[in-house]
Amino acid sequence: MRLEGTLDAFSLPDIFQLLSYTKKTGTLHLRREGQHGVVHLRDGAVTGGRGDVTCQALGRRLVGAGLVDDESLADAVEKVLDQPGSGLAKAIAETGRLDPGTLCALAAEQATDAVFELLRWPDGDFAFVVDEADPDDLGAALPVEDVVAEGNRRLETWATLTEQVPSASAIVSLAPAQSTDPVLSRHEWALLSLVDGNRSVGELVTLTGTGEYVVVSALAGLTERGLVVVGERPEGAGALAQRQELLAALERGGAAADVPDAPAPASTPAERRQVIPDRPEPFTPTRQPEHPESPLPALTRLAAGAAMAKAGATPAATASAPDPGARSAGVGSVHGAHALQPDASPAPSSYIDRDPSVNKSLLLRLIAGVRGL
């Protein structure tokens, strides 16, 4: 059996009633001006539908509800590509990662939205293909009477909703200020999270996947409560920033408060003030002995011997002519090969006095301690 005709001769509710009464199983196709919608039936009950066959409406609804992860979606897409004509939502359901009851409820919502969209067609052609299966049959079975009644109820309120949301191309923005504390439902919060001041109503419908009526009715309620603005761009963060900059100019100078100052150019590294100023290196004086002492006789003898050897005199020659006055002076004389003249002036040590790293005071004390042992 093939049932076909135009919507001018048969209204869509009449066609549904006929198919329900005869308990038909198949797919009802509707076409007009490049549009193609379908409604699937099983034993006279609606199992699914799409207002646009080119759109994976039920799959988008599952994704928009946050029920599908990347792995499940990728596997389902691969299956659809390998088996043309299979349903994406059915492939997602076959992964076994979603609750069958949830899938059935979402399929019923999608069928109700599709019938509402098709009821708004003023004209078009229809054709019913018997036994054409629903590629996304997830177990939903809605009585035709209930689906049509819900569609008619939505049609009665649609004109009121479109006063708040005039078109699908209107931009939706958040209202910056509220007079009362907002109270939101879970669905309204999910919708507001997608509003960025640039997306249109149609883009929100696509992202949520919940259907045009659900999104438009939610936006109309949010607009009436002053939470969103549809079609007009409210004063947002840009206007607020400009006013704050005007106050900042007043704080900086006062006279130029009417014109915000231009930002000062960034200083180059050479112009930046040093946090720690330069200072000269500290002056380190020459280290002086802590306890200056007179040279020991032993050091004097060594220094005198070195000076005489350099001058060409020998210690033996010096010892052969002792000075009698030296004994009387209390210095004493030593007869021998290494005797020294008591009146010889001590010459500077070529090893100790010229080495600035030697602590002569400490060295003298060490020698004195050794002599006292």
Q: Is residue 11 located within the same domain as residue 149? A: yes
Mapping DSSP to helix (H, G, I), strand (E, B) and coil, where does residue 139 land? coil
pLDDT in tens, 321-357: 444 444 444 444 444 444 444 444 455 555 556 566 6
Q: Do 145 and 225 reside in the same domain of the chain?
A: no
Whether residues 208 and 145 fall in one domain: no
- Of 139, 157, 175, the last residue of a domain is 157
pLDDT at residue 290 in the model:
55
Number of domains in the chain: 3
For residue 362, give its domain range: 297-323+330-371
Same domain, 99 and 122: yes
Residues 96 and 129 placed together within one structural domain of the fold: yes
The verdict on residue 282 lying in a domain is: no
Average pLDDT per consecutive 10 residues, the chain (373 residues; last block may be shorter):
83 93 95 93 95 91 89 89 87 87 93 95 93 92 95 94 91 84 89 90 92 93 90 67 80 58 51 54 55 55 63 49 45 45 49 62 74 66
Is 121 in the same domain as 200? no
pLDDT on residue 149: 96
Residue 251 backbone phi and psi in degrees, to 5 = -70, -30
Same domain, 170 and 152: no
Residues 16 and 61 grouped into a single domain: yes
Provide Rg for the chain, Cα atoms: 53
Domain boundary among 141, 157, 173: 157
Taking residue 172's Cβ as centre, other Cβ atoms within 10 Å add up to 25
End residue of a domain, out of 138, 157, 176: 157
Residue 22 confidence (pLDDT): 93
Q: Are residues 15 and 127 in the same domain?
A: yes
Please give the pLDDT value at position 300. Answer: 61
Classify residue 307: in a domain, yes or no: yes
Give the pLDDT of residue 263: 53
Of 139, 132, 145, the C-alpha closest to 27 is 132
pLDDT of residue 292: 55
CA distance 158 to 155: 5
147, 12: one domain: yes
Domain assignment of residue 351, yes or no: yes
CA gap 156, 151 in Å, rounded: 9
In a domain, 278, yes or no: no
The owner of tokens 């002792």 is 322
In a domain, 171, yes or no: yes
Q: Is 243 inside a domain boundary?
A: no
